[in-house]
Amino acid sequence: MFESADLSHHVPKAVFKREETKLREALLDAQFDLAAQRRFAVLILIAGVEGAGKGETVNLLNEWMDPRHIGVRAFFQPTDEERERPDAWRFWRALPPKGRIGVFFGAWHTMPMVRRALGETTEAEFAQAIGDIRRLETMLCDEGVLLLKYWFHMSKKQQKQRLKALEKNEATRWRVTEHEWTFHEMYDAFVGVSEPFLRETSTGEAPWIVIPGADPRFRALTFGRHLVAALRERLDEKPAKQVPDKTPPLLAPADKVTVLSALDLDQPLDRDDYDKELETLQGRLNALVRDPRFKEMAVVAVFEGNDSAGKGGAIRRVTGALDARSYQTVSIAAPSEEERAQPYLWRFWRHLPGRGQVAIFDRSWYGRVLVERVEGFCAEADWMRAYGEINDFEEAMVRHRVVVVKFWLAISKAEQLKRFKQREKVAFKRFKITPEDWRNREKWDRYETAICDMVDRTSTALAPWTLVEANNKLFARIKVLRTFCEAIEAAMETIGKKRKKKG
């Protein structure tokens, strides 16, 4: 992939000066149109060999365009806060909103290549990292992000000449350190890893653009021309009014037996037994979060369910066992303007807990395959692809020692009606019932279909759904607490086994 980049390219100074003026004007026009339209975000990934002009090119970009609307982020070794969360968390937090340009140095591609070149990871681990990156980038492109990936390249001989020239000049000597020469010695190993990496991660929606880096003027014009062409192509296209339906239908089972219809929603548990079990389980949960092993993990709990199924009551029984400093409850409603300017999962990624912490989501990312699907708030293509994106998201958490527990609290249609009417009668409960609840009830069958599809497609070995029979609120609360404790205990057992192995 690097044959053309290894050639001796050159642009005369006079040609560069003439072309630069036109290029700057075109880039500024595109940037202002991007900010005015606010239809999509632009994310530029900068990568390549040492000394190929990555930093100089981004400095030039800030000079050519309005730097107030460009966010440049360089990612070095992760901080302590970042290490406590999945690898992609720090990149998600820095994504540019619609209407802005983000530039990432050392993004998600850097560490997998460096670790492989240093022999710190196996071929299988490298292949898994490539798969993760492809899915992440596909998701960003599906969300409308204009993802531009630039690889700045030069031959080993050109790199050596470049480093020596920088070292010779007193004004640029500081830019060449032992780090740059170390990577020069590793050139063959690094390029040997980067070539298959670029090939595997260069896709139709986000191809790698190789920029020859030896000649500064040729490099700058090549980069600038491609950037303005990519911006103009997206800005000038007319957005489709409706995404065509290309997905096959999801059909209900022929015998109408589903994961919900198979539940016995009326589970017995009297008040005396409930009080005893509640005290026991809350004590058990409290002891678990104070266990030293809990400092090596985090918990993400998802609470979903029918309207008035008792999610709030179940959550309160969980938080009643926890120190207020150890948990955060995240209540999900309609997205804000800030959240709508980002990919769908962004508003959930940013709430992920650190080690020794619990995050409780009252409603969650499953809104895309439930409310948004049923109410038509997103296209079918969006909620269909969401199943895979959600599974990837949860797998990333579990791999990073985050315990993911997911509860669906299920009640019958008759029980829901009874609770709705009770809420309307009791003064301090009236806020819990809204016209929207009654509207949702009219779509009971459509929601039930969506729920069953959700469970079938996102209940995985890593993050299974727990279906809670909730006609009896007391039974539901106890089942939630018991499942919560068992999930943490299973994770602690895994940690113990890994310690023994290491020992």
The pLDDT-based confidence of 463 (bands split at 50, 70, 90) is very high
Residues 312 and 304: their CA atoms lie apart, in Å, by: 10
Q: Can you give the pLDDT at residue 3? A: 78
pLDDT over threshold 80, residue 302: yes
What average pLDDT score do residues 54-68 get? 94
Q: Are 4 and 154 spatial neighbours (Cβ–Cβ below 8 Å)?
A: no
Q: Is the pLDDT of residue 370 over 90?
A: yes
Residue among 139, 145, 138, 141 nearest 34 (CA): 145
- pLDDT-derived band at 292, boundaries 50, 70, 90: very high
pLDDT band at residue 243 using 50, 70 and 90 as cut-offs: low
Cα gap 410→305, rounded to integer Å: 6
Rounded to whole angstroms, how far apart are CA atoms 451 and 13? 64
Q: What is the pLDDT of residue 171?
A: 84
| Average pLDDT estimate for 140-158 | 95
Q: Is the pLDDT of residue 240 over 90?
A: no
> What percent of the chain clears pLDDT 70, i.e. is strictly above it?
98
Let me know if 376 is exposed, middle or buried by CB neighbors in 10 A (0-12, 13-18, 19+): exposed
**Is residue 432 predicted with pLDDT exceeding 80?**
no
What local confidence, expressed as pLDDT, does residue 428 receive? 67
For the chain, how are helix, strand and coil distributed in percent, rounded to 5?
55, 10, 30
- Burial class from Cβ neighbours inside 10 Å (0-12, 13-18, 19+) for residue 248 reads exposed
Averaged pLDDT for residues 408-425: 92
Strand-pair category, 402-410 with 101-105: unpaired
With 0-12 / 13-18 / 19 or more C-beta atoms within 10 angstroms meaning exposed / middle / buried, residue 217 is middle
pLDDT in the model for residue 65: 95
Please give the average per-residue pLDDT across 230-235, as a whole number: 97
The mean pLDDT value for 81-92 works out to 94
Q: At 104, which helix (H) or strand (E)?
A: strand 101-105
Identify the CA nearest to 5 among candidates 151, 148, 154, 150.
154
- Check residue 73 and report its DSSP letter: E
Residue 110 has pLDDT above 80, yes or no: yes
Q: What is the pLDDT of residue 451?
A: 97
The mean pLDDT value for 393-421 works out to 96
DSSP string, 372-423: HHHHTSS-HHHHHHHHHHHHHHHHHHHHTTEEEEEEEEE--HHHHHHHHHHH
The percent of residues above 90 in pLDDT, for the chain, comes to: 79
Cross-sheet strand order for the sheet of 327-331: 327-331, 358-362, 298-305, 402-410, 465-469
pLDDT at 435 over 90: no
Contact 202, 146 (CB under 8 A): no
Chain position carrying tokens 């969300």: 143
**β-pair type (146-153, 101-105):** unpaired
Token pair for 312: 């709030």
pLDDT at 194: 93
Give the residue carrying structure tokens 């975000």.
41
pLDDT of 347 reads 95
Q: What burial class does residue 96 get, using C-beta atoms within 10 Å of its C-beta: 0-12 exposed, 13-18 middle, 19+ buried?
A: buried
Confidence of residue 249 (pLDDT cuts 50, 70, 90): confident
pLDDT (mean) for 32-48 = 96
Alpha-helical regions (H) of 143-215? 156-168, 178-185, 187-201
Using the structure block, give the residue that is written with the tokens 């759904």.
465
Distance from C-alpha of 177 to C-alpha of 180, rounded to nearest angstrom: 6
Q: Which of 40-49, 242-251, 278-287 has the lowest mean pLDDT?
A: 242-251
456 near 369, Cβ under 8 Å? no
- Give the per-residue pLDDT at 182: 85
CA 368, distance to chain mean position in Å, is 15
Residues with Cβ within 8 Å of residue 220, at least 6 apart in sequence: 16, 20, 57, 60
Residues 6+ apart with CB under 8 A from 364: 302, 303, 304, 332, 348
What does pLDDT average to over the chain? 93
CA distance 467 to 13: 69
Question: Confidence class of residue 503 from pLDDT cuts 50, 70 and 90?
Answer: low
Calculate the CA 487 to chain-centre distance.
23
- Mean pLDDT within 397-418: 96
